[in-house]
Amino acid sequence: MTNPTEPTQTQPKLARTLTRDLGQLEGQMVKLQGFVHARRDLGGVQFVVLRDKTGLAQCVGSHLSLPLPESSVEILGTVKAHKKAPGGYEVQVESMKVLSAATQASPLEIPKMEWNVNPETMLDYRYVSLRGLRERAALKVQGEIVYAFHTYLRSQGFTEISTPKIVSAGAEGGANLFKLDYFGEQAYLAQSPQLYKQIMVGVFERVYEVAPVYRAEEHATSRHLNEYLSLDVEMGFIDDEDDVMELETGFLSFAMERLGESCAAEFELLGASIPKVPQRIPRITLMDARALVTEKFGHQVGGKDLDPEAERLLCQHYAETEGSDFVFVTKYPRAARPFYTHADHQEDGSLNPDLTRGFDLLFRGIEITSGGQRIHDHAMLMESIDAYKMNREAMSGYSEVFKYGMPPHGGFAIGAERLTAKLLGIANVRYARAFPRDRNRLTP
Amino acid sequence: MTNPTEPTQTQPKLARTLTRDLGQLEGQMVKLQGFVHARRDLGGVQFVVLRDKTGLAQCVGSHLSLPLPESSVEILGTVKAHKKAPGGYEVQVESMKVLSAATQASPLEIPKMEWNVNPETMLDYRYVSLRGLRERAALKVQGEIVYAFHTYLRSQGFTEISTPKIVSAGAEGGANLFKLDYFGEQAYLAQSPQLYKQIMVGVFERVYEVAPVYRAEEHATSRHLNEYLSLDVEMGFIDDEDDVMELETGFLSFAMERLGESCAAEFELLGASIPKVPQRIPRITLMDARALVTEKFGHQVGGKDLDPEAERLLCQHYAETEGSDFVFVTKYPRAARPFYTHADHQEDGSLNPDLTRGFDLLFRGIEITSGGQRIHDHAMLMESIDAYKMNREAMSGYSEVFKYGMPPHGGFAIGAERLTAKLLGIANVRYARAFPRDRNRLTP
């Protein structure tokens, strides 16, 4: 029963248009919604740059009362081609409604923020600094990587699992654990889902998990976080660690292709390039890698692993000689790997007491993955627990399942923030996490 | 440089066949890998029921040395039609290789386990009991629900986020929090990503998260867990809570359709049915719902909400009258909702001090979702914090962002385990989580 003499509404029910779609709507009336990214009042004419999740749109009108930046607004207007506007179009405003007014000026000028300008301030005001185009681009890219992880692994027959983060003991042996009171019992935050993903191989054969993990490391570096998002994989019925490396190569190829489709604008904004993943990522044993950086670059490598400089040089070598941003470092010595890592075989078929089937993946100068084949034989696991001078009793919650026919298996874990940071050239991994936790930061 | 006189391998390099595909391979040689689910030695002939992630296969051979149940094996053999075998086919074994022998008998007979038989024992030995067909079916269904959540929300323009689980204060006000020492500071495990998902609406407009949350509830019930997987959504630029309920309806339709495609066997195994999601899920205000269960069923409802019996009766009503397993209960009173819930409007357009835009979704007799529109106006939020007798200072980490133009927004959260349990008719929510944590259980 509509009454034809009723006044027409000033804001007709129009579906929302996203700024990225303006180019297809020239001459048409559109409804935009978003945030006041920037504004300028030239007296007779006002400009508003509206920001929505897909980009920016220049809007121009007259007699507009401009709210503070970051206010949420709804704009009705007509799309016109305009060479100087971002994207080549602007919206001539018919009306602007303030949906939610900012009540004070933002502590950071969102359009003018730059990486590494006042980094602590950027983190203190993370709840607004994340609205910056570069900041949110990093998190969007990370979201795409995670979704590619889901999609690819499911296509390979993996089942997603959810394992406890409150645990009674640490999977890696006990150092660097956050302690927790669990109804009067001592508990810890899980450093990794290692034990649980291995158990789940006995259930679903191929499993993965995307979840936070915790490291109570005291030191503050540009590559560590105390809470980070771990992309974890574990697969059963493998021949050896090659199967694991092949799976990871497949995932990375798939993910980089997806990023090319969905995040080209974000990479361009950040001046970063999407790496090509070779069909076979170069592989080098740790021993050969140490020799290579000494011989080619004169760098003496300390410790039993690669130090950060050696990682950088090794990656430089493979970028120069094979054009690869990735390299697998294989056959880690036992002393540099956790107790559950499977020993490598010697030429005569017997187990090598010194070398393992553990590997790292380096990318653009830094380790982004640890992985390997795990011990599946109960007797071998017991020997390893003894050799690492660990307590059989304390590890029984872990070791018990290996009495029940665990198949040969292996897996890997990728730190989502570290991969994102290296992909985008972000110097500090904290900027690849929405609300990072570090030694001095528990808020926001 | 192959040498034609070399002996042929006894185990030719054959790709693995999954048990679900046997029906397409009659007469062919296949390689199966899996666990010894059951075994039987009739002297001249031996039977092995092999279990892999896709099902069971009866394998029959002679002179087989049978390893303990749960051992991992690889079987080469020929597929034959056999009416009495599960699936209608059996494999005539040519050779069987033990990949990993169980070294002792399983504490639970996997093929004979039933729901609710020795529930505590089932949880004590979770690392093997999860291999049971019914147990793993529950977790597979949950994995499918979670993947449907990712897929559907991305199709609706949502971005996945990862927010901190170590926080400085509770989002719901402070009760039921696990305490943590964070480098000498008092910290808590997050009860919900509420604050953070709201902040992220200012960044990506539409966001979701799949992550564990924590409730330090002392009481043990069949519907609560101390750690559970929360499926969280928050969306900006909404008109009101109807937009949120429509989105949730869309997700549920999509998820149930997906389950029909991928998990029909699991529902059949558990004797459960996949519900139809009506295009418009019935809605009733809380006040009307309370009146209805009193008038129709004579049940007096205590408190300000619905009690468990009222939830059951209300669901019974909608199943009988509208054939719907779902019902939205809307317009919750302020006293039954958290401080951040948006007030409802009265007929004259002013805010109603007593009613909110909060809703619950009930499914088969139990609440599986809380949701609603949130307060986006800073002044209104301050008034609400005062009205709830909360401390403005303590809440400033939450309230600060509302000074910067937060758009009208709302969202919901679904407990993944509770939804899974109700879908499958699992009486206790603990059996819908791989490794549940409760008042008395911190292991395995």
Per DSSP, the residues of A19-51 read GGGGGG-TTSEEEEEEEEEEEEE-SS-EEEEEE
Q: Is position B217 annotated as part of the catalytic site? A: yes
Of B140, B196, B405, the CB nearest to A100: B405
Probe site for chain B from A17, A100, A376 (most B CB atoms < 10 A):
A100
Q: Which of A2-6, A288-292, B300-304 has the lowest mean pLDDT?
A: A2-6
Residue pointed to by tokens 């309920």: B245
Q: Do A160 and B147 touch (CB under 8 A)?
A: yes
Chain A CB contacts of B210 below 8 Å: 210
What does the pLDDT average to over A320-344? 96
In chain B, residues 149-208 whose CB comes closer than 8 Å to chain A: 150, 154, 157, 159-168, 178-183, 185, 187, 189, 196, 199-200, 202-206
**pLDDT confidence of residue A78:** 98
* B237 and B147 in a common domain: yes
- Residue B411 falls within a domain, yes or no? yes
**Residue A99 CA, distance from chain mean position:** 33
Scanning the structure block, which residue is given the tokens 């009705």?
A76
Look at B442 and A166 and tell me if their CB atoms are within 8 Å. yes
Last residue of a domain, one of A100, A119, A152: A100
Interval A108-116 mean pLDDT: 77
- Token code pair at residue A366: 């830094």
User: CA A7 → CA A2, A10, B220, distances in Å?
Assistant: 11, 9, 60
Question: What residue in B sits closest to A193 (Cα-Cα)?
Answer: B435
Contacts of B401 in chain A (CB under 8 A): 127-128
Instruction: Give the pLDDT of residue A214.
Output: 96
**CATH number where B153 lies:** 3.30.930.10
Give the confidence band of A334 by pLDDT, cuts at 50, 70, 90.
very high
Q: Which residue among the candidates B90, B135, B209, B367 is catalytic per the annotation?
A: B367
Q: What's the whole-number mean pLDDT along residues A292-312?
A: 95
For residue range A190-229, list pLDDT tens digits in order. Answer: 999 999 999 999 999 999 999 999 999 887 788 889 999 9
Is B312 annotated as contributing to ligand binding?
no
- Asked if residue B187 and residue B83 are part of one domain, the reply reads no
- Give B380's contacts (C-beta < 8 A, 6+ positions apart): B343
Please tell me the distance from the alpha carbon of residue B403 to that of residue A100, in angstroms, as a whole number.
9
Sign of CA dihedral A400, A406, A410, A415: negative
Asked if residue A353 is part of any domain, the answer here is yes
Per-residue pLDDT of chain B (444 residues), as tens digits, is 344 444 444 545 799 999 999 999 999 999 999 999 999 999 999 999 999 999 999 999 999 999 999 999 999 999 999 999 988 999 999 999 999 999 999 999 999 876 556 788 899 999 999 999 999 999 999 999 999 999 999 999 999 999 999 999 765 666 789 999 999 999 999 999 999 999 999 999 999 999 999 999 887 788 889 999 999 999 999 999 999 999 999 999 999 999 999 999 999 999 999 999 999 999 999 999 999 999 999 999 988 899 999 999 999 999 999 999 999 999 999 999 999 999 999 989 899 989 999 999 999 999 999 999 999 999 999 999 999 999 898 888 889 999 999 999 999 999 999 999 999 999 999 999 999 999 989 989
Contact A407, A342 (CB under 8 A): no
Give the tokens for residue B311. 């939830």
Chain B residues in contact with A178 (beta carbon < 8 A):
166, 180-182
Which of B213, B209, B211 has its CA nearest to residue B226? B213
| Interface contact flag, B397 A167, Cβ < 8 Å | no
The reply to whether B442 falls in a domain is: no
CB contact under 8 A, B163 and A102: no
Say if B264 is an interface residue toward chain A (CB within 8 Å): no
Q: Is the pLDDT of residue A331 over 70?
A: yes
pLDDT at residue A4, rounded to an integer: 42
Has residue A246 been placed in a domain? yes
**What pLDDT does B174 receive?**
65
pLDDT surpassing 70 at residue A443: yes
Torsion of CA A158, A162, A165, A166, to 10 degrees: -130
Q: What is the pLDDT of residue A113?
A: 77
Domain presence at residue A10: no
Is B215 catalytic? The answer is yes
B218 vs A: CB within 8 A? yes
pLDDT at residue B172, rounded to an integer: 61
The verdict on residue A299 lying in a domain is yes
**Which residues of A are part of the catalytic machinery?**
215, 217, 223-224, 367, 370, 418
B280 has catalytic annotation: no
**Whether residues A313 and A422 fall in one domain:** yes
Does B345 belong to an annotated binding site? no
Confidence of residue A1 (pLDDT cuts 50, 70, 90): very low
Residue A35, chain B, CB below 8 Å: the answer is: yes
Asked whether residue B343 falls in the same domain as residue B214, the answer is yes
pLDDT of residue B396: 86
The residue among A360, A366, A361 whose CA lies nearest residue A432 is A366
How many separate domains does chain A show? 2
In this structure, are B66 and B159 located in the same domain? no
Q: Which domain holds residue A33?
A: 19-100
